[in-house]
Amino acid sequence: MRLGKRIVLATGSLVVMIGFVTMGMMQAIVTQALGQELDQKGLTAARVLANDLANPLLDGEDLVVQRNLNRFSQEGPSVIYAYVIGPDRQRLVHTFADGVPSTLYAETALQQKSAAPQVRLLLTEQGRIRDYGVRVLDGLDAELHIGLAEQGILATNRRVMSLIFGMTAAGVSMAVLLAWVLGRYVARPLEYLTATAEEIGEGRLEKEIPIESTDEVGDLADSFNRMLARLREAMGREQKRNRELTALNAVSKVVSLGDDLPQVLTQSLQEVVEALGLRGGWIMLLNEGQSQAGEVAAAVGLDPSEITGCLRAEGPCSCWSAIQSGDVQARTGPLTDCPMAPHDGERMRIVGPIPLVAGGKMLGFLNVILAPDHPLDDQAYEMLRGIGRQLGVALEQALLWLKLREREQRVSQLLQKVIDAQEEERKRIARELHDETSQSMATLAVGLKAAASLVHRDPNRAESMLESLKETTTHTLHEIHNIVYDLRPTLLDDRGLVPALHWCATQRLGPQGVAIDVGQGGIRQRLPPEVETTLFRIAQEAINNVAKHADAQTIRIHVQTEERSVRLSVADDGRGIPLAAENGEQSDKRPLGLVGMAERAKLLGGQCRVNSVPGEGTRIDVTIPLEGGRAHDPHLAG
């Protein structure tokens, strides 16, 4: 049921209920008042009549008594009867036409020896009758009874009830009318509120309630309008947040596409520009060391060739200053000194730099161009920083993939070199065995056969021939010994790393007149076999490089053991290696020999650092960790 109808029904019901209650109360009050008035009149009339009948009744003049009773009964329609009982209780004078009813005296008789008047209510066929009984004289046992009907009271009640009913009906009509007007006054704004709420539920938040009253309904409408304004503002923030989350999700999906770095950065930047309603932006990568910008990796809204002067040390640039100082904090205001701000005759509103960070290292930065009248709040900037972190991770992963592929390629090349070196070594050994050792063995075999044939015929010549064969055998053993040492010097197993390094350097560089300085420090034990072999092979490669390319005058080899590591350094004063990169970076440009050194060190958890200056020489430092620290072995490694 509608609110207006409920108000009308409730008001009408309340007024009707109040009317009936009022009618009942008024009827009771009027009936009580009229009954009291009738009782007062009846008793007064009975006393007056009793005074008039006292003397005739004492004198026995019954006719006079009868006349007085008849005259009294004719005074009004409300007088129903009158009768007198004499002192002797035998004389009865009355006004009944058919005689006194048999039960009347028993119902109305006064109490003996009581002088107080008495009022009794009788229910008869003629209706309700009030009987008033009084003593004719005090002390005289004679009674007078008169009966008065209640028709007057009932008629008056009916008139009063009719009046009250009319007034109640008029009140109900007026109350219903007022309730209808009030219901419309209250319900119409509520109906408008309901309709507006339904429109809001459908997503139309531009509606407002045009109610300007100053009462509670006006306050409700004003509160509703304020709620709508806050709801529109919250919806705007939520839509903006949804766009930001959409941008983050889109960037996450794009980042997961693969390791195609230009595609990932370009699509991610496009998603950010569209989601935040930006005019454009660009991503700049930093080169190693962050000394200057590397390249424009992606651009949206402008051509990459237009991005000039960005991060140039010679010009004033907020991005450059922030990156150089390391103070890349939240900067939501447009940059005023960006070289890109003046563009096509207008000044672009640029916000940045937004760092692309991964693993605590800044790999690049993002700058965005705001659209006209489009501010960028702190929340949006924080979202851009989150995207910057995502892109930094994607950038780091892509660079790691590139390095991994390059390393795999270098390892493949190194493996091929090892295989080639093995084949060359096999060819050399086969050639030496064929050209020298096999020839010596053949000569030895022929000589032994000849000596055997001369033992009996010419012992002296046979002895001389055996002496010559002995020298041939010694020379052959020396050749085999050299081949074995080239494969793996037994000196490394027998005496340790430092003697083996000294022997290798002497054998390889001694004939070239290179001064050799081999030293050690802190060695009180034999190193683990795998560590000795690795360091020997790295030093052997370095010695071979010096012999082939360095044209050095001096080489210094030093082995130093510390608490939990061993360090090998090989330094020469030769030509240097122009393409060697410090700290082992840019492995794609290093010679395979240097790559092999680094790979050997990494296999044992160590590192190989190559420092070279053209014309001043090369220094190779290798550090390999020792598990469990130093062991107390009494052997001397030198």
CA distance 539 to 122: 146
- Please give the C-alpha separations between residue 529 and each of 71, 286, 338, 378, 495, in angstroms, as whole numbers: 161, 44, 60, 60, 12
How confident is the model at residue 570, as a pLDDT? 93
Q: What is the pLDDT of residues 377-398, one digit of tens each?
A: 666 777 777 777 777 777 777 7
Provide the phi-psi class of 222: left if phi over 0, else alpha when psi is between -120 and 50, else beta. alpha
Q: Say what the pTM is.
A: 0.40
CA distance 539 to 322: 45
CA distance 7 to 603: 92
**Per-residue pLDDT for 326 more than 60?**
no
Let me know if domain 492-625 sits in CATH 3.30.565.10.
yes
CA distance 567 to 539: 12
The answer, yes or no, to whether the previous bond of 353 is cis (omega within 30 of 0) is yes
Reduce the secondary structure of 276-292 to three states and give it as a string.
HCCCEEEEEEECHHHCC
Q: Label residue 587 by pLDDT band (50, 70, 90).
A: very low
Return the higher-pLDDT residue of 296 and 460: 460
Average confidence (pLDDT) over 476-501 = 76
Q: What sections of 60-150 are H helices per DSSP? A: 62-73, 104-108
Mean pLDDT (the chain) is 76
Average confidence (pLDDT) over 555-580 = 86
Q: Strands, DSSP E only, in 327-374?
A: 342-343, 346-347, 349-358, 361-370
Which residues, listed in sequence order, are joined to residue 624 by a DSSP beta bridge? 566
**Per-residue pLDDT for 73 more than 80?**
yes
**Per-residue pLDDT for 589 more than 70?**
no
CA distance 375 to 364: 24
How confident is the model at residue 554, as a pLDDT? 93
With H, G, I as helix, E, B as strand and everything else as coil, classify residue 517.
strand
Both tokens of residue 299?
A: 């651009």
Average confidence (pLDDT) over 217-231 = 77
Annotation: CATH topology of 3-160: Beta-Lactamase (3.30.450)
451 membership: H or E segment, kind and range: helix 438-454
CB atoms within 10 A of CB 499: 18
**Per-residue pLDDT for 632 more than 50?**
no
Return the higher-pLDDT residue of 151 and 72: 72
Amino acid at 466: L
CB 492 within 8 A of CB 585: no
Residue in this structure with the two tokens 């008029």, named with its chain if needed: 170
- Chain region(s) in the chain for CATH 3.30.565.10: 492-625
- Chain region(s) in the chain for CATH 3.30.450.20: 3-160
CA distance 281 to 279: 7
Strand 515-521 relative to strand 554-561, pairing: parallel
CA distance 123 to 149: 10
